[in-house]
Amino acid sequence: MSLDHRETGVGYRAPGIRKTFSMSLLALAVHTLLNPALAADLTETQDVMVVNANADSNTNATQDKTDYQVKTTRAGTKLQLTPRDVPQSVSVITQQRMQDQQLQTVNDVLNNTTGITSNLIDSERTYYFSRGFTLSNFTFDGIPTSVGDAWNYGDAASDTAIYDRIEIVRGATGLMTGAGSPAASVNMVRKHADSKEFTGTLNASYGSWNKQRYVADISTPLNASGSVRGRVVAGYQNQDSWLDRYSKNTKFFYGAVDADITDNTTVSLGYDYQDADPESPPGAAIRYSTATAH
């Protein structure tokens, strides 16, 4: 009798459960219709965040003039990439670092660059090495130039006052110079007339061994809108040495004109001149005079 009673009880409870569950779904539907916010939560969709980035076509405009690093560079690939995206070892010596550390020539820059070693031949000539090979690959604004190994003088003696930054790519740079060189490539990026207002700086210094240095850097717009701009950098340096009879006079001049043809196109024309006149440099021919014996 007790078994039949338990079975009867089970038969009565099962319909009650189904009825309660049906009433709960109906109540949820009514509550959802009365509360749209709850409906939005039930049909929640994942938001998609879209990030748009646009790199400035003018590389100089993207650089912070007071920083030791650059945000983007075209070194190694001619593509405007961040330094970490360049698939080679790259060092960029910025204008601010050259000013702070008094790196006044390209020779000073290379002597302070990671992975570059130098061999001083005399007071005016220096050979550079990288990864066991002679460095003879110099470029100006990405344009290759040739340097004779027999008389390696000129490019490394240039004054850094006319350069915005100097980029050193260690290893072959086939995308920049064809076959490239297994040593390294030195790209000297010259300053541009990028100021639409008249501005300028004048620096003068005096140091040991009567070293005098004067540098003027002036930028100005050449029309009312500032779409055509000009820049002039000129300098003079005179110094003696701890070596007897040795002295050196250096004069340099650089001029640039930038013109905005369109919003995305700028034409730049530049000219630089440097005259270095060393007096009695070590390694040169020895002066002598003839005498007559009596």
What is the rounded average pLDDT of the residues 210-215?
Answer: 95
pLDDT for residue 200 is more than 90:
yes
pLDDT number for residue 66? 63
Query: What are 72-92's pLDDT values in tens digits?
Result: 888 888 888 998 999 899 999
Of residues 250 and 44, the one with the higher pLDDT is 250
pLDDT for residue 157 is more than 90:
no
pLDDT number for residue 125? 80
Would you state the torsion angle of the CA atoms of residues 171, 111, 137, 182, taken in this order, to the nearest 10 degrees?
Answer: -20
pLDDT number for residue 152? 53
Query: What are 223-248's pLDDT values in tens digits?
Result: 999 999 999 999 999 999 988 889 99
* Domains defined along the chain, listed by start: 63-190 (2.170.130.10), 199-279 (no CATH)
What is the rounded average pLDDT of the residues 190-194?
Answer: 94
Q: Average model confidence (pLDDT) for the chain?
A: 80
Q: How far apart are CA 203 and CA 169, in angstroms?
A: 31
